[in-house]
Amino acid sequence: MNIADIISEALDVLKRGGIILYPTDTIWGIGCDACNEEAVRKVLALKKRNEAKSLILLASDLDMVARYIDIIPPIAIDLVEVNDAPMTIIYPGAIVADSKGGAAKGTSFGLALSVVAEDGSVGIRIPIVNSAGAIFCNKLIYKLRKPLVSTSANISGEPAPSRFSEISKEIIEGVDYVVPESFIVEERGKIRFDDSATGKSSQIIKLGVNGEVKVIRF
């Protein structure tokens, strides 16, 4: 199966409110439409995760991020431009579905409430195109036209799997679609997602409303 066919199948599941198991620029993740509250709750239930904890999202670019954040701090633009490794930025002022912020930006939609932290912030990463997983994510998000939930493919409290072979049967059987471990490129043959992923979680940087920068995970 080629990557275009895989993206088409995953996209269909996402648009129907389903959840998927998919490769990212870091580790394999469980994902769904970040604007669909019901789908997000499915992800939380599968992971047995506390609903008070927020989720990381993936976006295609800063333009997409800007649609779901009140104001992007200037430092965030600098961080994205100079960054050469997977980095999640926690932004203040997330726009939730049907919120006043969404109306002010001329949109009737926003993020699902369950992806936003109690302080109104949300973590978003723009995958750097340095791996097959990152290419897959960017193409999928571009087609979805919304951010994609990206949480590690494990039950909450258990070790996060760094490769597909480490993902539990419970997780694999609990999603609506599993992206194949590999895809076919006509000129190169079979490409495995695990072969180019970092196999570890991203850095996390939290930005404050006044421009403060705090390193959460390095």
Give the count of beta carbons closer than 10 Å to the beta carbon of residue 37. 17
pLDDT of residue 3: 85
pLDDT of residue 8: 96
Give the per-residue pLDDT at 206: 94
**Residue indicated by tokens 């978003």:** 124
Provide the number of structural domains found in the chain.
1
Q: Which domain holds residue 154?
A: 3-217
- Residue 195: the pLDDT is 66
Residue with tokens 């990152």: 134
pTM, entire model: 0.89
pLDDT at 189: 61
Cα dist from 40 to 55, 57, 129, whole Å: 9, 11, 26
CATH number for the domain including 123?
A: 3.90.870.10
* Residue 174 three-state SS: helix
Predicted pLDDT of residue 106: 46
In tens digits, what is the pLDDT along the chain, a chain of 218 residues? 788 899 999 999 999 999 999 999 889 999 999 999 999 999 999 999 877 678 999 999 999 999 999 989 888 988 888 887 889 999 999 999 865 554 444 445 699 999 999 999 999 999 987 788 888 999 999 999 999 999 999 999 999 998 899 999 999 999 999 998 876 555 556 677 766 566 777 889 999 887 788 888 77
